Structure 1
């Protein structure tokens, strides 16, 4: 099993109980970036995951594809869950860099927060839909 496969399995099976093993997979100064966070350190990353488990029910994280080239892995994934009774699905891609010891030193998540999050909010979503239609090339034809 490659270091990328081991990290994939850890993420796909992550629970509040397995958070205690996080430092086995990431360095103490790991950097994590997503549309809402830009943090450094294993404790900060643990807090992001704890907050996720506190806020989201029925969590599912599945990796669709994984590629490894030297010390960098690219991971295509689907994350889903329920927040306040409403289900959601997010498709994304992660760039994961590994330190010499095989642990993750950088994890950058890329996903479209506008269409997969903000557009689903009641007031903001309507406004973003309007703006999107106005700047769309199809809307200008």
Structure 2
């Protein structure tokens, strides 16, 4: 079987995406406020970031999201539980551990990543269920969210 230029190029992107995803997973697992200064090593200047609460473009805006996380939660940390890679894209499964008003909480989710030719993130899209993973665990609205889930559920 012969290898074409595009096969070699695609193979290089796969290796680059894989190594970029592994580096990014490690970065998130060791994230601290001080490490936010190195965000440029992992994200393209015009990177897009979206989660259930934010949709921003650019490294400075992404940095502000993480600064806000550190300012409003206690001891936040990510544990990457899965990593699936294909070409210049990856999916990271993760658990986010943090404290909020004296309560220990966890949120489970998945991040879709797309990397540029330099191996930096150009698209970061977080998927997690804010109702189940967060709202149902909060004292005031948790009961209402659980009741709504029971009423709307098929079982």
**What is the Cα deviation at residue 121 of structure 1?**
2.6
- The answer as to whether partners of 2:50 and 2:126 remain within 8 angstroms in 1 is yes
**What is the Cα deviation at residue 122 of structure 1?**
2.9
- Cα distance per residue 1:6-50 (max 9 Å; x no partner): 111111111111111001110111111111111111000000000
Indicate whether 1:137 and 2:154 are aligned: yes
1:83 maps to 100
Indicate whether 1:66 and 2:83 are aligned: yes
Q: Distance in 2 between matches of 1:59 and 1:132?
A: 28
Indicate whether 1:20 and 2:37 are aligned: yes
- Cα distance per residue 1:87-130 (max 9 Å; x no partner): 10011111000011110001111111001111123332222222
Ranges in structure 2 where 5+ consecutive residues have no aligned partner: 1-17
Indicate whether 1:107 and 2:128 are aligned: no
The structure number with the bigger radius of gyration is: 2
Q: Cα RMSD between the aligned structures? A: 1.2
Ranges in structure 1 where 5+ consecutive residues have no aligned partner: none
Q: Distance in 1 between matches of 2:102 and 2:148?
A: 28
1:125 maps to 142
Return the TM-score normalized by structure 2.
0.85
Higher percent of residues as helix: 2
Return the TM-score normalized by structure 1.
0.93
User: What is the aligned length?
Assistant: 138
